[in-house]
Structure 1
Amino acid sequence: MPHALDADVVRTWCALALDALGRAREEIDAINVYPVADGDTGTNLYLTVESAARAVDAVFDGHATTGPGSRPGLAEAVRAMAHGALIGARGNSGTILAQLLRGMAEVLAAGDEDHRAPGPPPDEAGLLRRALRRAVESAYEGVARPVEGTVLTVAVAAADAAASAAGDAATVARAAHERARTALAATPGQLEVLGRAGVVDAGGQGLVEVLGALAAALAGTTPVPAAAAAPSPRPTRAWRHEGCPADLGGDAATGAAPAFEVIYLLDAGDDAVARLRTRLDALGESLVVVGGDGLWNVHVHVDDAGAAVEAGIEAGRPHRIRITHFGAAAQEATRVGEPAQRAVVALVPGEGLAALCAEAGATVVGVRPGEPPASGELVQAIRRANAREVVLLPNDADLRHTAAAAAEQARTEGVRVALIPTRSPVQGIAALAVHESARRFDEDVVAMTAAAGATRYAELTVAERQSWTMAGVCQAGDVLGLIDGDVAVIGAELAFTAETVLDRMLAAGGEMVTLVLGAGVPDTVADRLQRHVRGGHLAVDTVVYRGGQQTAPLLIGIE
């Protein structure tokens, strides 16, 4: 049955899109050749939509705390989706997708608010047609030099199809999705680099997945995979607006590619951003500046990363700055000698944990709060490890897709990679403790996996807002004790809550307790917890590390 275009559909859309991109991520990464063949477009799109989905879920969770039956309106849901995508946008295609969603949100939110008053129901099909058109216009406003044969081409085709489709919103969405698939199949004939590689545009395929999820959410069906349909003539250019090019023309990147990808969020006014666009366009290529209302996401490929950041500082306040060196892998290859037989690559969230893992012989990738690493960073770390065999420890359930994408890319380069699904740094520590490079690879992986699996994990964190949990209702500022990822204890003070968590976990047995202190947690907390374990569990040893992680004041492992 078709569904109304409301907040529930937006939430379902985000969930279906995330699931579809999760399934297609490796395939999209594998065909990523433009504008830079760094093999992470699928992962970047997944992370962008994941941020959007989390923002929408947070809106629903917030309403749930106000009373039974309280639900957000369409306007609130789509604005949350657009904001989440903006602050979580990764890479060139992820940034463009964020702007497409923002353009849709502008129209859908305004339409929802216009129809709050009593009267006839809104024309949802017409609203969706206008939203898809505005999405295209917004994307062109954000891209400095549009190129045909990319995600923009696919977006234009979808908007063209929606404009001519008759029927309800589900029918309009289905028409947009089907035309987008056809446009995707035609991209190799529109962009030379795609034709040479024999692939469709990676960003375009990601957008087809997102549009398929929208059509499925409205129709109440399962999304259709983005298998490209037969090519057809180029989409029409019926739309025009001031500031948009008359067509999708634009020169593809030529010559040597820039050395760096620079991305940051920017707090700045419209006038300052207009000047920033001009300056960054002169500095590099693949410039995309999206957002509005004082918050922008800036993406550019440059040779002088410092100059790109300085330009942001002059325009406003840049934050969440990420700089990726495209040529780092090649430079590493010229410096390293004969590959080692085996290495371990570990993702860790704090300087103390990084030092601990490095001392154990691992190649470390730092994880910054709110900035999960891209698969390209992990691939570079695997290359930097310079080994024929690599064991990869993500140490976070949310990083499993990113780690899997990096592992797959490394395998195509001839590296044997085993991904151990560690869900917490304490499981990674346990795995590292039994690592022996002298063993056969399979035996070493089995031993490390068994050690990680035998380590139950918990973390203590602080609630940011009132919310329902499995342990009851928490208030902002409460200390939450999560055991194996689920809230099990709610307390008012860190050490007391940790004692309760330890007692619950040790009730099932255990020989070793690992405590990892976060940034700013005093040693007195560790001393108190060690005394507590000795007092109630005489045969259990305790080891303490100062991890320095920002996200959780305390991590606990039980072996």
Structure 2
Amino acid sequence: MGIRQLNGEQFKDMLKAGAANLTRHIEKVNALNVFPVPDGDTGTNMNLTMSSGVNELSKQSFSHVGKTAQAFSKGLLMGARGNSGVILSQLFRGFSKALADADELNAVSLATALSQGVSAAYSAVIKPVEGTILTVAKDAALGAQKSAEINDDLLEVMKATIDSAEKSLAKTPDLLPILKEVGVVDSGGQGLVYIYIGFLQALQGNAVVEELVPTISNELHLDPAQLHLKTDDITFGYCTEFLIHLEQESNFDLAVVRGQLQKWGDSIVAVADDELVKIHIHTEKPGDILNFGQKFGELKGIKIENMRQQHAQILSSAPTIASQKKQPFGIVAVSAGEGISRILKGLGVQEVVSGGQSMNPSTEDLLKAAQRISAENIIFLPNNKNIVMAAEQAASMLDTPAFVIPSRTIPQGIAAMLAYHADTAIVQNLQHMTEALSHVKSGQVTKAVRDSKWDELDIHEGDFLGMLEGDIVVNGQGLPQTALRLLASLIGEDDEVLTILFGQDVEKEQADELANQVEEAYPQLEIDVHFGGQPIYPYIFSVE
């Protein structure tokens, strides 16, 4: 017996089943990921994106298919992560627009929605590449259209969709040389096939559907495909994505923005509705991208990931962590810049998670980092007040004993690591590292993005702001002058050491000149200058 139509609730079950089936196959999709960079997170990003859509569905109940599709699409856009996740969100954005006025879903409307989803996804990607999820989605939609022309059974249309998707997936190595080189199919396309199989499972009443994971040899790789590639092959190392909540007076033009982004990187996806813009780009200058986006409104959901680091971790984790001898301690620290990451690793941190102010890593990011370490005890250094709770939640989810040193700044995190000793018992290490937090004073210089007032300070857009332990204490129009005034508030008579971490937009000569001026004013200080590479904050100061 065929299925001629679905109402909103039945359609919701179909969407949830697609997400659930993808969840069951995350690691298989991750293991295939080599394009556009071999960072091994396509399955994770698609799953998080789908989960966000399902979470939005759980907040409401509609009998109207169009409203159900709209809610799902909104959730996907808000939670879209990574290139594959943003493309997935656009597939379902076009899908939902096609169903906007539909009370029920039938064979023709399903095929039409799949086709419009493809159009929306292709439009969102500045340089579409064939042999990816886009190709699989396009061929799947063509299969659905052909089936809908000859029958009105949703089951048959969905079967035809999957059949076309699987055939297209098997051909992706012929379209994308990197896939043929490594011997895999496209990871994003594989993820989409799993979603469509979940749809069919729901239509069949959760019947078991045979899984298909085709590779060139028709065998599943036991090792991640990323092992076959080099980290140095990654041209643009930072996967940067965020939402812009558009200001009413902003002069935003999506076409112009897409053109501007091309000078900063590749793998660009930029999509928008009336209120929100989603940006995804692989770049070497994430700070420039954030500054550019901030011109149009408030930034939300910022995520910056070092893809070279991700790939290097995949390489270093082979063979499996389980075969390695456990270390006494494993330390996970949050870092806001390339130079800061090097400093933390030099002090003994095994796993560095990119993040900081306005780009907080999730509990899952911290948890996954900890799980990559084979250790008897895990210590988290959040290094930001907004990340402490996520670190505590990650610690509670580990099977290994895990502890959080509540470091609220990068200088505190570095101070904690200076107090850490690998040959000391866990209790003493936790005590010494926690005590070290109070032995350092932290300062930061950043830039105001709008006019405001803070205590007695009148702040204007473009002012430099000097912050002492998170509180704004000075502001001014010049960076060196503001930095010196902040240091006057930081440095006391008994202080001995000043560490200057300069950001990605500051030249070494500028930092050295600032250090010379400080040395003249405070000859008793030992001054160290290091490249931090952090965005947003030209200078981070540590005073002890």
Alignment TM-score > 0.5, same fold? yes
2:280 is the alignment partner of 1:299? yes
For 1:225-264, list aligned pairs within 5 A. Answer: 226-228=211-213, 256-264=234-242
Q: How far is the alpha carbon of 1:382 from its aligned partner?
A: 6.8
How far apart in 2 are the matches of 1:426 and 1:27?
Answer: 27
Asked whether the equivalents of residues 47 and 89 of structure 1 are also in contact (C-alpha less than 8 Å), the reply is yes
Residue equivalent to 1:547? none
| 1:195 counterpart letter in structure 2 | K
Which whole-Å CA distance do the structure 1 matches of 2:251 and 2:95 have between them? 20
Out of 135, 138, 148, the position equivalent to 1:153 is 135
Aligned partner of 1:19 in structure 2 is: 20
Alignment RMSD (CA, Å) = 4.4
SS of corresponding position for 1:296: strand
- Give the structure-2-normalised TM-score: 0.57
8 Å contact from structure 1 (residues 265, 298) kept in 2: yes
- Per-residue deviation, residues 104-143 of structure 1 (Å, max 9, x unmatched): 111112233xxxxxxxxx6711111110110000001100
How many residues were matched structurally? 360
> Contact 1:343 / 1:362 at 8 angstroms: preserved in 2?
no
Cα distance change of structure 1 residues 11 and 51 upon mapping to structure 2, 3 Å threshold: same
Do 2:376 and 2:401's aligned partners in 1 also have CA atoms closer than 8 Å?
A: no
CA separation of 1:91/1:363 partners in 2, compared to 1, >3 Å: closer, same or farther? closer
Q: Is the 8 A contact 1:208 1:226 kept in 2?
A: no
Q: Which amino acid aligns with 2:160?
A: A
How far apart are the structure 2 equivalents of 1:332 and 1:216? 36
Q: Distance in 2 between matches of 1:54 and 1:391?
A: 33
Matched, 1:101 2:92: yes
Note closer, same or farther for the CA distance 1:107–1:321 as it changes in structure 2 (3 Å cut): same
SS at match of 1:149: coil
Alignment of 1:4-43 (within 5 A): 4-43=5-44
Whether 1:214 and 2:199 are equivalent positions in the alignment is: yes
**Is the CA contact (8 Å cut-off) linking 1:2 and 1:219 kept in structure 2?**
no
Correspondence for 1:455: none
Tell me the CA shift for residue 57 of structure 1: 0.8
CA distance, structure 2, for counterparts of residue 123 and residue 17 of structure 1 = 16
- Structure 1 gap segments, 5+ residues each: 61-70, 113-121, 232-253, 334-338, 349-360, 395-421, 440-559
Displacement after TM superposition at 1:372 (Å) = 6.0
Aligned ranges 1:278-293 → 2 under 5 Å: 278-293=259-274
2:43 partner letter: G
Q: CA deviation at 1:327?
A: 2.9
Cα-to-partner distance string for 1:273-314 (whole Å, 9 max, x where unaligned): 221111112211000112422212110001111121122122
SS of structure 1 residue aligned to 2:239: strand
SS at match of 2:263: helix
How far apart are residue 270 of structure 1 and its match? 8.9
Q: 1:37 to 1:331 in 2, by over 3 A?
A: closer
Percent identical = 31
Task: For 1:227 and 1:423, locate their aligned partners in 2 and report how far apart those are by CA, in whole Å.
Answer: 36
Separation in 1 of the partners of 2:267 and 2:237? 12
Identify the residue that residue 181 of structure 1 maps to in structure 2.
Answer: 166
> For residue 58 of structure 2, what is the aligned residue in structure 1?
57
Question: 1:91 maps to which residue?
Answer: 82
Residue 431 of structure 1 corresponds to 401
Do residues 344 (structure 1) and 314 (structure 2) align?
no
* Alignment-mate amino acid for residue 109 of structure 1: A
Give the letter for the 1:281 counterpart. Answer: Q
Select which of 342, 362, 365 maps to 1:373. Answer: 362
Cα distance change on mapping 1:192 and 1:433 into 2, 3 Å:
closer
Normalised to the residue count of structure 1, the TM-score between the two structures is 0.56
8 Å contact kept, 2:66–2:99: yes
Deviation at 1:15, TM superposition (A): 2.3
Task: Give the secondary-structure state (helix, strand or coil) at the position aligned to 2:137.
Answer: helix
Q: Hey, what's the Cα distance between the residues in 2 that align with 1:341 and 1:132?
A: 50
Deviations 1:327-384 (A, max 9, x none): 3468999xxxxx9934335699xxxxxxxxxxxx99686899997639777666677x
Alpha-carbon distance in structure 1 between the residues aligned to 2:310 and 2:233: 19
Residue 488 (structure 1) aligns with: none
Contact 2:49 2:81 in 1 (8 A): yes
| Distance across 2 between alignment mates of 1:80 and 1:163 | 25
Q: How does 1:368-517 map to 2 (within 5 A)?
A: 373=362, 389=375, 425=395, 431-432=401-402
Cα separation, partners in 2 of 1:230 and 1:341, compared to 1, 3 Å: closer
Alignment partners' CA distance in 1, 2:28 and 2:312 = 27
The amino acid across from 2:161 in the alignment is A
Match of 1:492 in 2: none
2:367–2:398 contact (8 Å) kept in structure 1: no
Q: The residue matched to 1:38 in structure 2 has which SS?
A: coil
Residue 325 of structure 1 deviates from its aligned partner by: 1.9
Match of 1:193 in 2: 178
**Distance of aligned partners of 1:295 and 1:202 in 2 relative to their CA distance in 1, 3 Å threshold:** same
Aligned to 1:143: 125
Q: What is the distance in 2 between the residues matched to 1:175 and 1:208? A: 12
The answer for the alignment partner of 1:224 in structure 2 is 209
